[in-house]
DNA sequence: ATCTTGACAAGAATAATTCTTATTTGATAA
DNA sequence: TTATCAAATAAGAATTATTCTTGTCAAGAT
């Protein structure tokens, strides 16, 4: 498979439109975990009439087809990951920066814990503080506790 | 420690008010991963003048003190977990039901991958389809693909 | 008694996402 | 090539979750 071609595997039978092609092009090979709004802003630069509903619809269609992973790693918004290889994430709890972790941990759920679920996958989040935020914390401006 | 007493460990120095006590009482021992709105609805049944801002403020105060985990396991809203023991989750991708997984997997990030982050924790999500949703899917009403 | 600080209610404001509706388009088959 | 029709679109209204603002209040400190 050619690099940047992976999403094509999930678009068979989808009606191809200029809008969708622009969205796919933006997503192909994108490792930044963009939000719907990131996609919308990037694509509407070239297609000024692009509607945010179109972006949401296309992302949801791709998600259902398995071409995108919807990540719940940001409490403020959904993030989408077009990286076809299953992987995990390291997240800075201060600035919410996200780093891919390409390690397969092979965690498994014992049958008695799976509670008759049909298991389809897993995702590990590591939490930490990134070097930049550690630096900032060290130089004094630590946030107060208001409790 | 008495069962249902765990949150008390994080409230030292917090000004105690009837509203906060009602919120704490609702959270103590709650294994349902309630959202802010769940807390608000439950507590305002007894305190009709409760403001949603008070709920959000109290939850955020507890979170900062380590008494609550803010879970990003639901793309629609934040969920809060007052269970003080670190644990993982099994999530139905159809109905979003959440089941606690009390297994310690001891996943670790190699130093070269940690990228100078100071690692503070991790969380594993298992994805699957729960028995009820499997049942529904088998009996015919499978959702169409709109792509 | 007054001051200070944190907590409060009420609701406005914001931000992300979904929904609605009329219109247009791409894929299919005639 | 053209007609057809389901699906996709634009535009913006609506919804939902969350945060912010403002004025008030209460408890402890001075």
Query: Looking at the predicted structure, is the pLDDT value of residue A66 above 90?
Result: no
Query: Looking at the predicted structure, is the pLDDT value of residue B146 above 50?
Result: no
Q: How far is the CA of A43 from the C1' of C22 (A)?
A: 24
**A126, A127, A132, A137: best mutation site toward chain B, by most B Cβ within 10 Å?**
A126
Q: Give me the percent of chain A exceeding a pLDDT of 70.
A: 88
Instruction: Give the A window 53-72 contacts with B, CB below 8 Å.
Output: 57, 61-62, 64-65, 70, 72
The dotted CATH code for B1-84 is: 1.10.10.10
Q: What's the Rg (C-alpha) of chain B? A: 18
Which DSSP string corresponds to B34-76?
Answer: --HHHHHHHHHTT-TT--HHHHHHHHHHHHHTTS-EEE---TT
Q: Which residue has the tokens 């946030």?
A: A143
pLDDT tens digit sequence for B120-135: 889 999 988 889 888 8
- Terminal C-alpha separation, chain B: 54
Domain spans of chain A? 1-84, 86-147
Entry field: residues in chain A: 147
What kind of architecture, by CATH, is found in domain A86-147? 2-Layer Sandwich (3.30)
Q: Which helix (H) or strand (E) covers residue B131, if one does?
A: helix B131-138
Residue B125 has its nearest CB partner, among A115, A118, A122, at A122
Give the model's pLDDT for residue A126: 92
Give the model's pLDDT for residue A141: 42
A134 three-class SS:
helix
| A75 with B72: Cβ contact below 8 A | yes
pLDDT tens digit sequence for A93-132: 777 788 889 999 999 999 888 889 999 889 999 988 889 8
């Amino acid at each position: 498979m050619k690099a940047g071609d992976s999403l094509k595997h999930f678009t068979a039978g989808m009606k191809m439109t200029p809008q969708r092609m622009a969205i796919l092009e933006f997503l192909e090979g994108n490792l930044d975990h963009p939000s719907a709004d990131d996609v919308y802003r990037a694509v509407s630069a070239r297609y000024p009439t692009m509607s945010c509903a179109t972006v949401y619809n296309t992302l949801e269609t791709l998600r259902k087809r398995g071409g995108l992973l919807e990540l719940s790693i940001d409490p403020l918004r959904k993030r989408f990951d077009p990286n076809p290889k299953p992987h995990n994430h390291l997240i800075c709890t201060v600035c919410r920066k996200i780093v891919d972790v390409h390690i397969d941990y092979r965690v498994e759920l014992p049958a008695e814990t799976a509670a008759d679920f049909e298991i389809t996958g897993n995702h590990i989040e590591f939490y930490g503080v990134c070097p930049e935020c550690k630096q900032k914390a060290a130089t004094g401006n630590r946030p107060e506790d208001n409790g």
